[in-house]
Amino acid sequence: MAKEKIILTGDRPTGRLHIGHYVGSLRRRVELQNSGLYSKTFVFIADAQALTDNMDNPEKVRQNVIEVALDYLAAGLDPTKSTIFIQSQIPELCELSFYYMDLVTVSRLQRNPTVKTEIQMRNFEASIPVGFFTYPISQAADITAFKATTVPVGEDQEPMIEQAREIVRRFNYIYGETLVEPEILLPDNSACLRLPGTDGKAKMSKSLGNCIYLSDSADEVAKKIRSMYTDPDHLRVQDPGKLEGNTVFTYLDAFCRPEHFGRYLPEYPDLNELKAHYQRGGLGDVKVKKFLTAIMEEELSPIRNRRKEFEKDIPAIYDMLKKGCEAARETAAATLDEVRKAMKINYFDDAELIAEQAKRFKGEE
């Protein structure tokens, strides 16, 4: 029998979700959820992980839990098809992390490239919180507690998935085949792999102020696109323009579909022709930006409208999350039963063990 295929992924609730999250993973998750190829989909809000570098700002994390939940629903995650839950409400994940800590060395964690960069970004060099340093272990618990086979995430998460795979292999080697090795699922379009900020900087990030949020109004999106970074040497319409590092074209690579030309720019047959004209000269930034704005509006307006609807009943969102937590906890608890058994720490549910021990001590009399 083919192994059951299970999706799991999550986001730290440190801000509203932006279009980098959307093309990097969220859009894909919705497709996977609806594809019928997976027996289960788990999507969770990683509040405990967010606290590892926001320990002094619990209010920020709390506010953004509901923002992320709204973004999920707005983007099309459907609680009847996906289990949507909050990490901190699943205590089994802490238990699992505690056992995994035995299977990972300090030097292995120190080599994790994502953790390395994050430590630098946060000026943690001199005083790294232990919880932050070990979050790859807790992330391995997130993934394996649900026996996830497939983890759709951005490229920066690759070292986490690798670390999780190593933990699984080591666990299964020592304690017997119990856990499932997950596989990363990266976006297949390279523009989606790392969508730059509107200023052309490598990454979209709240602190750089270069994000387009899923919840931005149409006006905000249009304004952000108008001031978007293009080719600084493309001064006059007739000048030849460069595509490399040109954010508008990177966004077109991520969002443009063939049918968009018929609808918004019928004088061009496809994106290649548009690019060629830009490179030759004679095509102005304003025209390309207007095209991008139309495309973005087509993609974002249904999301924005759904969000507005969901915002009308916030208690219902918390209720949905609570139900998701209950369902997730059931799955995690079942895995923990297997883990405790494999690790021989299931003292009270094992009649055989008690009988065996009784016999041993009798024999010693």
The residues binding ligand TRP (CB under 6 A) are 8-12, 46, 49, 139, 142-143, 151, 153, 157
Q: Which residue's C-beta sits nearest to ligand TRP?
A: 46
For residue 143, the minimal CB distance to ligand TRP (Å) is 5
For residue 49, the minimal CB distance to ligand TRP (Å) is 5
For residue 204, the minimal CB distance to ligand TRP (Å) is 13
d(CA 347, CA 181): 27
Cβ atoms within 10 Å, residue 281? 13
Closer to ligand TRP at the Cβ: 40 or 234?
40
DSSP assignment string, 97-112? HHHHGGG--HHHHHT-
For residue 85, the minimal CB distance to ligand TRP (Å) is 12
Closer to ligand TRP at the Cβ: 47 or 231?
47
Q: Are 291 and 265 in contact (CB under 8 A)?
A: yes
CA distance readout (Å), 358 to 20, 352, 362: 60, 10, 6
Name the DSSP class of 236: S
Closer to ligand TRP at the Cβ: 87 or 293?
87
For residue 315, the minimal CB distance to ligand TRP (Å) is 26
Identity (one letter) of the amino acid at 235?
A: L
Taking alpha carbons only, the member of 156, 160, 184, 181 closest to residue 171 is 181
Question: 58 φ, ψ to 5°?
Answer: -65, -30
Closer to ligand TRP at the Cβ: 104 or 274?
104
Closer to ligand TRP at the Cβ: 13 or 79?
13
For residue 62, the minimal CB distance to ligand TRP (Å) is 17
**Can you point out the beta strands (E) in 49-129?**
83-86
Closer to ligand TRP at the Cβ: 210 or 246?
210
